[in-house]
A and B are shown apart, each in its own frame.
Chain A
Amino acid sequence: MRRFTALFGELDARSGTTARVETLAAYFATADPADAAWALHLLLGKQRRRLITGRRLRQIALEGSALPEWLFDDCYAHVGDTAETIALLWQQLEPETSHGTADGDPEESLLDQPLHRWLGELLPAAAALEGAEQAQAVRRLWQGLEPGALLVANKLLTGGFRLGVAQGLVLRALSQVSGLEPALLAHRLMGGLQLGGPQRDSAQSSAAAWNALLAPAGGVDGPISRPYPFCLASPVEPEPGAPPLPGPASDWLVEWKWDGIRGQLIRRGGEGFLWSRGEELINAAFPELIAAAGALPCGTVLDGEVLVWPEGAERPAPFAQLQRRLGRRAPGRALLAEAPAVFMAYDLLERDGEDWRPRPLSQRRAALDCLLHGAPAAATAPEAGLLRLSPLLSLPAWDSLESLRQQARAAGAEGLMLKAAASPYRVGRRRGDWWKHKLEPLRLDAVLVYAQAGSGRRANLFTDYTFALWSEPPRPGEPAPALVTFAKAYSGLDDGAIAELDRWIRSHTIDRFGPVRAVEPLQVFELAFEGLQPSRRHRSGIAVRFPRIARWRRDKPAQEADTLASALALLQSPEAPEASGDVAP
C-alpha cells in the first residue's frame, strides 16, 4: 500500500507524458506481481464497485468525534469528495490514535500490507461487516494510515477510483516493462484481469493474471470470452472544395453511423458473449442476441451495433428505447416485446478461430456477407433476423457524399462511416482508416436558469447548468412569458469561462434550493445536441440527447433566446414512438 500511495502521489504531481510513463514503468518493473495486477486494474478504471457508500463513511468518521456534523458538511461542500474530506479531517477526528502507525499493532503497520491484500482482503472484509463492527474495522484501517494513504483507501472504498492516466500511457509503460507490443497487451487486457475474490488464493490468482499478461507473445490462450480491442473512428473534417479523404471514393466503404451501443458478439466453444465498448459483458441484458449468436459457427467474432428495432420498422427506435434495455439484469417479457434488439454487424474479426484483423476490410466484409446471408444455419434459424448486416451504401463519387449524409436522419442514423477498403482492423483510435462523418448537431439558444456546484475537480465551482426556453416569444412591454427548463449541460466551456461564469452566478443568485442556485435569467448559451425526442418525463415535453454548450452568446439578450416552439420544430420524426415513463432522463 505504501508503494501504491507513492505511485498515486507521483502521478498526481507529474503531468508530462514521458514522466508519467516512466513513473508507471518503474512501478510495474519492481512491484510484486499480485500488487502490479491490482494496480493495473485500478489504473484502467476497472474498480467500479462501491464497497461502502460515502454517506456511511461520513457516519463512521463522525461517530464518537467532537467535530460537529454541520462543520463536516461545510468541509465536504468545500472539498467536494467524502473520501478526501475524511482524509483531511481524520487527524482531528481521532487525534490521539491517528498519529503514526506503531501503536503496538502486532501485525506491523497496515501501510506495509501489500496492495493486493488491501483490495482482495482488508477492504472487502470491512465492507462485509455491519453496524458497530464495521465502524470499528474501518477506523482500525484509518488509524494505520497517513493522510495520502487514507485518501487512497477511502477512494477504494467508495468506488470509482480514478488515477487519471490515459490507457495509452499505461500500455506504453507495460510495453516498456515487458517488451510486448501495446496492441497485444491491449488485446490481453480486454475483458479485464482475473484477479480473484477475497479468498485465500487471491494473491496467487492476481499474480498469475499478471504473469499471463506479460507472458511472451504467442504462448498463452486467453479465456474464450475475450474480445478484441475495438477499432475507433476519428471525425472527418472536410474542407470545402477538396475531397474529404485521400484517393477516389471507391477506395472507401460507406455505411450508416448507427446510434446504438457498439458491441462485439463472440461465438466460441459453444458459448455466446456480447461485449459493449466499455468492456462490459452485456449477455444478461440481451438474451435474444446471445440466442441468435448460437446460429454462428464456432470461432466467430463480429463487430457491430446493438439497436432496438421493432419488427417491420424501417429504422431503429430512438436511443432512449435502447437505454431501457440497459441497467436491468434480465429484461422481462413485456420489455423484450416492446424494445426488441438486433445486432447490426459490420465487421468480422475472427473466423473459424482465426484472427482476421490483419486482412483487408474488403475481404473481411465479403466473408461477413457470406456468413450472414449465405450460411444455411443462420438463414434458417428463427432468430436470423436478429443478426443483420449493416448495408453498404453506394458512393459513386465524393460529390454525392453530402447528399448521402443528409439522408442519415431519415434512416435513423447519426451520420456516415467511411472505412478504407484495404485497411486492417486496428487497435483503438488511429487516424487514417476509419472516419465518422456525423450530421451537424441541432442547435438552440437557451437561457441559464439554475446552477449547481460540480464535484471532484469542479467542487467549489458552479459547473452544472440547467437551461430553459421561453414558453412563447417574449414581447417588449409585456410581462415576460415563462421559462421552461429544457436541458442540463456540464461541458463545453473552458476553465476561464467556467471561472467567469462561476463569479457571475455567485453575484446573480436569486434563490437557493439546497445546492442549487437559481440565477437571474440573463445569460444565453448556444446548446448543441444530437437529437430530440418527445418525452412525457420532461416538463418541456422534449428529451435531448448529448446536450453540450457550443458557445456563450454574450451578444444575445435573453429575450432573443429560442422558444419551445422552435425546439418542437426540430423534432424531425413526430410519429416516433413516445418514450415511456421509465426512460432515464
Chain B
Amino acid sequence: MPLPPGSLLELTPQGLYCPAAAAWIDPWRPVPRALISHAHADHARPGCGEYWAIGSSEGILRRRLGAAIRLLPVEYGQLHRIGDARVSFHSAGHVLGSAQIRLEAGGESWLVSGDYKRCADPSCAPFEPVGADVFITEATFGLPIYRWRDGAAVAAEILAWWQGAPEQTSILFCYAFGKAQRVLAELAALGVGQPGQPGAEGREILLHGAVQALMEPYRQAGVVLPPARPVSELPRGESLAGRLVIAPPAAQGSPWMRRFKQPQTAFVSGWMAVRGARRRRGTERGFVLSDHADWPGLLQSVRQSGARQVYVTHGNSDGLARYLREVEAISAEPLEGDFNAQRGGERLDGEEPAAQPAATLSKDGEGARASVTGAS
C-alpha cells in the first residue's frame, strides 16, 4: 500500500522521502541528503550528497562508502532542525551506531525503525522506545515461530561447542559487521580471552579478513572484545586445532577454507531456528542468534510506539500487518516498495550483510575472492 498523499513521508523511486526535510531515509539510490539508520549495505549506499548518521558508525561508513563522503555525525537523542522538520536519531539496538529515525513537522511525528532488536547486546546501545503518530517498522522475523533466547545463553552454547572439540578448528560463520562483534563481546563477557581462559593471548580467536576490518571501530567505541587476530597472520603450517575462527558466511565453501583440515562448522543466525534452514546451510550446527526483533519484540515495539498508524516493511510484512489489524486492533498496512527487492538474494543470506571493500579481502592474502556482497 502506498503512503497517503501529503503525508510527512512519501515513497519515491529513491526510497522513503521527507519533503519537509528534503531528505531521504536509507535511500536506495544516490540523493542529495540521506539520513542513515545504520551502516549495513542495504541501508547505506554510496553516491549521496550528504549523510547524516550516528557518530559511532562513521568509521564503518567511510570505510564502505568512501573516505571522502560528506558525513554529519549526530548523537542519540539530539534534536536537529533540517528544513522545516525536526529530526532525531534514537538507538535501535541492532548494531554499533544503529538508529531509529524520528521526524516531526506540521504537528505530526513519524518514526522509522530501520533494523532493530530488543534483546540485550553488549556490542551496542540498547533499543530506546520512542513514541510517534506513525511507526514504520521492519518485520524481517515477522512470524511467531521466531522467539529469541538470551544472547548470553547462546554464547555459552557456542563456547561449549568450541571447547568440546579441542582437536579440531571450530569455524563460526556470522555476518562480518554486527553479528561477529556481538558474538565476540558475548564471549568476552563469559571470560573468553582472559588469562587461563579459552582464547587467551597466544591462543586468540582468529578472524577472517572481512571480520578483522570491522574490529577497530568497535574497539574505538569502547566495546570489550577478546584478543583476536587475522588468520592470515599465522605462519603456514601452524596447527589450528582447538582454535575458534570467525568468518563471514560467504567464506563457506570458498578456497579460503582449504587451510582448515576437517574443521567443525556452525552458522549463527536467527534463521537457524528452523531445521530446514539449518540443514540447507550445510554447516553442522546452527546457533539461533539474531540482530533483528523477534515476534514478541515486534509486537512490543509497535505497542510502545503508541502509533495510531503502522506501516510494515521487510520480511513477513503482510502477516504482521494483518495480525496488528485483526488481533491488536491497530491500523496497520504493509508498505509496498522496493524494500524486499532491494534486499536481493536468498532470504537466508539476508539477515545482515557482510559487505566488505575488495581491498580488505585481498589484504587477507588467502585468496578469499568469494564475493562478500551481502544485502539485507
Task: Give chain A's interface residues, CB within 8 Å of chain B.
Answer: 12-16, 66-68, 70-71, 74-75, 78-81, 84-85, 88-89, 91-92, 456-461, 495, 499, 502-503
Q: Which residues of A contact B280 (CB under 8 A)?
A: 457-458, 461, 495
Stretch from B47-55, B224-232, B315-323 contacting the other chain: B315-323
Q: Give B299 Cβ to nearest chain A Cβ, in Å.
A: 11
Q: A67-B144, A75-B143 are in contact. Are A13 and B284 (CB under 8 A)?
A: yes
Q: Which of B279, B284, B322 contacts A70 (CB 8 A)?
A: B322
7 extra interface residue pairs, beta carbon distance < 8 Å, beyond A12-B275, A16-B284:
A13-B284, A16-B262, A71-B322, A71-B323, A74-B143, A84-B274, A89-B144
Q: Does B81 touch A at the CB level, under 8 Å? A: no
A85 touches B145 (CB 8 A): yes
Q: Which residues of A contact B144 (CB under 8 A)?
A: 67, 71, 75, 89, 92
B346 touches A503 (CB 8 A): yes
The residue on A at minimum CB distance from B296 is A92
The residue on B at minimum CB distance from A67 is B144
Docked complex Cα distance between A81 and B278 (Å): 14
Q: Give A72 Cβ to nearest chain B Cβ, in Å.
A: 9
Docked complex Cα distance between A12 and B278 (Å): 10
* 16 A-B contacts (beta carbon < 8 Å): A12-B275, A13-B285, A15-B284, A68-B326, A71-B144, A71-B323, A74-B319, A75-B144, A78-B145, A79-B274, A80-B276, A88-B145, A91-B147, A92-B147, A460-B277, A495-B282
The residue on A at minimum CB distance from B265 is A15
Q: Which of B264, B277, B316, B323 contacts A68 (CB 8 A)?
A: B323
Docked complex Cα distance between A542 and B273 (Å): 43
Q: A74-B316, A79-B274, A460-B277 are in contact. Are A89 and B346 (CB under 8 A)?
A: no
Q: Restricting to B119-152, which residues have a CB under 8 Å from any CB of A?
A: 143-145, 147
Docked complex Cα distance between A14 and B264 (Å): 9
Q: Which residues of B contact A70 (CB under 8 A)?
A: 322
> Residue-by-residue, is B281-307 near A (CB-CB < 8 Å gives 1, otherwise 0)?
010110000000000000000000000
Q: Which of A14, A79, A92, A503 contacts B276 (CB 8 A)?
A: A79
Q: Does B1 touch A at the CB level, under 8 Å? A: no
The residue on B at minimum CB distance from A12 is B275
Q: Which of A12, A13, A75 contacts B145 (CB 8 A)?
A: A75
Q: Restricting to B323-370, which residues have a CB under 8 Å from any CB of A?
A: 323, 326-327, 345-347
Task: Give chain B's interface residues, CB within 8 Å of chain A.
Answer: 143-145, 147, 262, 264, 273-277, 279-280, 282, 284-285, 316, 319, 322-323, 326-327, 345-347
What is the predominant secondary structure among interface residues of chain A facing chain B? helix
Q: Which 3 A-B pairs have the closest CB atoms?
A: A88-B145, A459-B276, A15-B284
A460 touches B347 (CB 8 A): yes
Q: Which of B276, B322, B323 contacts A81 (CB 8 A)?
A: B276
The residue on A at minimum CB distance from B147 is A91
B276 touches A456 (CB 8 A): yes
Q: Which of A67, A78, A461 contacts B274 (CB 8 A)?
A: A78
A71 touches B319 (CB 8 A): yes
Q: Which of B275, B285, B322 contacts A84 (CB 8 A)?
A: B275
B274 touches A502 (CB 8 A): no
A460 touches B322 (CB 8 A): no
Q: A71-B144, A84-B275, A458-B276 are in contact. Are A14 and B323 (CB under 8 A)?
A: no
A499 touches B346 (CB 8 A): yes
Q: Give A68 Cβ to nearest chain B Cβ, in Å.
A: 7
Q: Give A410 Cβ to nearest chain B Cβ, in Å.
A: 44
B273 touches A88 (CB 8 A): yes
Docked complex Cα distance between A503 and B319 (Å): 21
Docked complex Cα distance between A68 and B143 (Å): 12
Q: Give A493 Cβ to nearest chain B Cβ, in Å.
A: 13
Q: Give A19 Cβ to nearest chain B Cβ, in Å.
A: 9
Q: Which of B262, B279, B345 contacts A503 (CB 8 A)?
A: B345
A502 touches B346 (CB 8 A): yes
Q: Which residues of B contact A89 (CB under 8 A)?
A: 144-145
Q: A68-B326, A71-B319, A457-B279 are in contact. Are A78 and B345 (CB under 8 A)?
A: no
A66 touches B275 (CB 8 A): no
Q: Which residues of A contact B277 (CB under 8 A)?
A: 460
Docked complex Cα distance between A421 and B347 (Å): 56
